[in-house]
A = this chain, B = another copy of it.
Amino acid sequence: MSSPSHFVSRHLFGPGPCNPYPEATTALTRPLLGHLDPEFIAEMDEVCAGLRTLWGTENARTLPLSTTGSGGMEAAFVNFVEPGDVVVVGVNGLFGERMCDVASRMGAEVVRVDFEWGTPVDPVKLTEAHPDPKIIAVVYAETSTGVASDIAEIGRRKGDALLLVDAVTAIAGVELKADEWGIDIGYAGTQKCLGVAPGLAPFTVSDRAWERRVEHPRSWYLDLGMLGGYAGEATGSKRTYHHTAPTGMVVSLGAAITRILDEGLDNVIARHRAAGAALQAGLEEMGLELFAAEGHRLPDLTTVKVPEGVDNAAVRSYLLEHFDIEIGAGVGAYTDSVWRIGLMGPNAQPASVPLILGALKEAIAAVR
C-alpha cells in the first residue's frame, strides 16, 4: 500500500478535503521537529499569529488544536458547558444537529431552533428562543447545505450569551471577523479553504468566554486550561508540555497560512467568491437548480439539485472513474437529491469551473 505503481490523483471538488495548496504539501517533507524544539515553538507562535489574522481576532487564545474540525466542535462545548447550562442551537443542517448531540452529552439543556435545510438561521428567532442562555451556538457556513448565516446580526443580538460559531467551511474562504461580529468561541478545520490536509482544528476564544470557562472539563485532551501553556506566551501561561503536538501538520498549516497572506486574504476571499459565482451561474445555465436559498449561498460550497430521473451516486461514480473528480452527495433527507460541489483553497480558480461543468454534463447524459 505504500508504493503503488501509480498514484490515484483526484480533483477534490467535494465538501472537503480539497486539494491542498502545494506549499502545504511540500512543507510536510521538511525534516520533522520535536514539539519542544525552540524552532518549532517559534513556528507555532507564527501559526497562532497567522490564525488570528484569518479569524479576524486579537484573541490571545487562538491556536490549532490537535484534532480535526469535529474535535474542534467538541472542544468548543466541553470547555464551556456544565450540566444544566442552557445552550441555544440553530439547526439548519447536519452540523447544527451535531452541535445538539455534542452539547447534550455535556449535560446541557439544549434549546434547539430549527430552520428549513437550505435556508439560513434567522437571527431574531435564534436569539429570542430563550431569555438568558449561557451559549448561543450556530454554524456560519453549513457544509451540509451550502448556506451562510448572518453571524454579525446574531452577534449584535446575543445579549449576555457567549456566541459559539462553527467556521469550518468559512475560514480563509469567506469573510470572517470574529471580533467585529462578537464571536466568543470559534472552531474551524484545515481541510477546507485553508487548503491543508485534515488533522487540525484552528480555534479561538475571547477573554469574555475565557472567564466563563469550565474549570475542570470532562475532557483532559481538549482542556483549554492545560492547553494554555502549550499555545504559548501570548496566553500569559508558561509554556509547558501537555501532549505531543502534530508538529508536521502545524508546519504544513503554517506554510498554507503564509501562502494565503502573501496572496492577500481579501484576494483569496475574492478568488473564492469569483469561482463560486462562475460555477453557480454555469450550473443554472445548464438548467440545473441550486439548492441553497438565493442570497445566502456559500461561494466555496455549492449545492445543486439532482435532476429528476438521474441517479446521484451513478453520476458521482462516473465523475470519479472517468475524470478523477470527486463531488459530494447530499446529507440526511437530501442524500439522493442534492450534490455538493466545493471550490476551496487552490481549487477556487477559474479553471475548475469548465472542468466541473463539462464533466458533469457528460456524466448526467451518460447515466440518464
Contact = CB atoms under 8 A, between A and B. Distances in A.
A320 B38 CA distance: 10
A26 B7 CA distance: 12
Contacts of A320: 37-38
A70 interface: yes
**Contact count band on A:** 35 or more
Interface string A7-39: 111101010110110010111111111111111
Contact of A247 (B3, B23, B105, B198): B198
Contacts of A28: 25, 28-29, 197, 248
A311 B269 CA distance: 51
Interface string A168-196: 00000000000000000000010100000
Nearest to A16: B244
Contact of A27 (B2, B43, B254): B2
A189 B246 CA distance: 11
B10 A106 contact: no
Interface stretch (A61-69, A116-124, A288-296, A349-357): A61-69
Contact of A199 (B17, B27, B98, B199): B199
A71 interface: yes
Interface in A275-327: 320, 326
Say what secondary structure dominates the interface of chain A. Answer: loop
A27 B248 CA distance: 13
A259 interface: yes
B23 A26 contact: no
A198 B38 CA distance: 18
Interface of A: 1-3, 7-10, 12, 14, 16-17, 19-20, 23, 25-39, 43, 46-47, 66-71, 73-74, 78, 98, 101-102, 105-106, 189, 191, 197-199, 216-221, 242-249, 254-259, 320, 326
14 contacts: A1-B47, A2-B254, A3-B23, A3-B258, A7-B31, A8-B31, A25-B28, A29-B29, A34-B326, A74-B219, A105-B219, A198-B245, A198-B248, A249-B249
B32 A17 contact: yes
Contacts of A31: 7-10, 19
A25 B219 CA distance: 31
A26 B27 contact: no
B71 A198 contact: no
